[in-house]
Structure 1
Amino acid sequence: MGWLTRLKRTRRRWLVPAAALLGVLAGGGYGLLATPEYAATSYVIVVPSAKSDPAGAMGLAQAYGRVATDIAVTGDAQVAAGVSARTLRANVQAATSPDAPMIAITARAAVAATAAGMADSVARALVDKGSHTQGSTGVKVLQFTRAATPTSPVSPSPSLSALVGGCAGGLLGGLALLVRPRYPRRGERTRYGTVPGPVTQAEALV
């Protein structure tokens, strides 16, 4: 049975490297086959009027940021963006700052120019909504900067995907060794007693 034991030990020894190699291949393949994704950001600022409270502009910026991806805004932006309102809602995110009345509108797309166009279209639609309510809110909503066309994707590169896959594969291989059930060896004492060892030739003749 010695050869079987050595075989099991060899399999355990190569489990983690094999799992890591499999993760590298899987991660690298995903990085090569996945469609690259580009992100572009347009900024909108809320400016208080002379008679309004600057603190009110901060609160209104938070409110405009929450409605930036609603159907009322994306529905107006879909024609200029060249994509549907559903696509805009799924691929555009708005973030506000706690220190400034600024709204960052970030769009993601497989084409760099499309991402920039989507971000600018939603920003302009939000500015139009703000101009309609300027008389009641006392603030102006202006496009602070236009979105620049990104030059490199934000999706992971094949090398980074391979690295992440290798780390994940090695981790899973190590966990598999830890949770592997351990059977007592012959002659080893357990909670139920001692497992009998192999019978020697002298004992068999008695």
Structure 2
Amino acid sequence: MTTTQSLAVRRAIGWLTRLKRTRRRWLVPAAALLGVLAGGGYGLLKAPEYAATSYVIVVPTAKSDPAGAMGLAQAYGRVATDIAVVGDAQVAAGVPAETLRAGVQAVTSPDAPMIAVTARSSRAATAADMADSVARALVQKGAHTEAGTGVKVLQFTRAATPTDPVSPSAPLAALVGGCAGGLLGGLALLVRPPRHGRRDGRARFGSVPGPVAQQEALV
């Protein structure tokens, strides 16, 4: 190989090395930018989601005590999204029972016999109707079993029609996506060690002479 060819090879190797370093340097910003674009696109394309909450309270009668009302409130909260309840609520809500089961969540309080029935929908009025319909269905179930349970199930407050969506806005989604993309890019740099380090390691360990080579060296 001539001197000119050797110089050209060295320049090519140096250019490739700088290119690899540049690519590694821009990995995190590129991943963050990709996350911003993905998050912002998701926030723009996804329909806004609204949430409405209706509250149901379990009141003890003369045949029961407050402790019994607490336990029954927990039980009613567990069955709030069962087919027996949402089946009665689907007509008033104007949506199928499957939509109610997927979009309604019931949460009980640990220190009060109260159930929060929260519904989510892409329409604010529909979310309020779904929450109120499930709450009224619970009240009806409680009325049917009042003689055996000794408690009354009442709707404490109706769901108010929400004015603002609970889903993240496009700027917030873009910010979250950028943070996630930058984090993933940084993890990729940490997990993937440089290749020259692995080659140096193999050369270093491969250069250790074996027993036969050591004996020949002694002779």
TM-score in same-fold range (> 0.5): yes
Please, which moves more after superposition, 98-107 or 166-175?
A: 166-175
Which residue number in structure 1 is paired with residue 163 of structure 2? 151
Which residue number in structure 1 is paired with residue 138 of structure 2? 126
Query: Is residue 75 from structure 1 mapped to residue 75 from structure 2 by the alignment?
Result: no
Which residue number in structure 2 is paired with residue 192 of structure 1? 206
Which residue number in structure 2 is paired with residue 204 of structure 1? none
Which residue number in structure 1 is paired with residue 211 of structure 2? none
- The offset of 1:6, in angstroms, is 1.2
Of 66, 90, 93 in structure 1, the residue corresponding to residue 105 of structure 2 is: 93
- The offset of 1:92, in angstroms, is 0.5
Structure 2: which 5+ runs fail to align?
Answer: 1-12, 209-219
Query: Is residue 21 from structure 1 mapped to residue 68 from structure 2 by the alignment?
Result: no
**Superposed, which structure 2 residues align to 1:1-16 within 5 Å?**
1-16=13-28
Distance 1:187 1:30 in 2: 44
Which residue number in structure 2 is paired with residue 117 of structure 1? 129
Q: Pick closer, same or farther for the CA change 1:187–1:62 going to 2, 3 Å.
A: closer
Distance 1:105 1:72 in 2: 16
Q: Pick closer, same or farther for the CA change 1:114–1:6 going to 2, 3 Å.
A: same
Aligned residues: 194
Distance 2:167 2:200 in 1: 56
- The offset of 1:81, in angstroms, is 0.2
- The offset of 1:4, in angstroms, is 1.5
Give RMSD over aligned pairs: 1.6
Distance 2:49 2:166 in 1: 6
Which residue number in structure 1 is paired with residue 194 of structure 2? 182
- The offset of 1:134, in angstroms, is 0.7
- Whichever of the two has the greater Rg, that structure is 2
**After the TM superposition, which parts of structure 1 deviate over 4 Å for at least 4 consecutive aligned residues?**
185-189
Where 1:113 maps in the other structure, the secondary structure is helix
Distance 1:37 1:183 in 2: 47
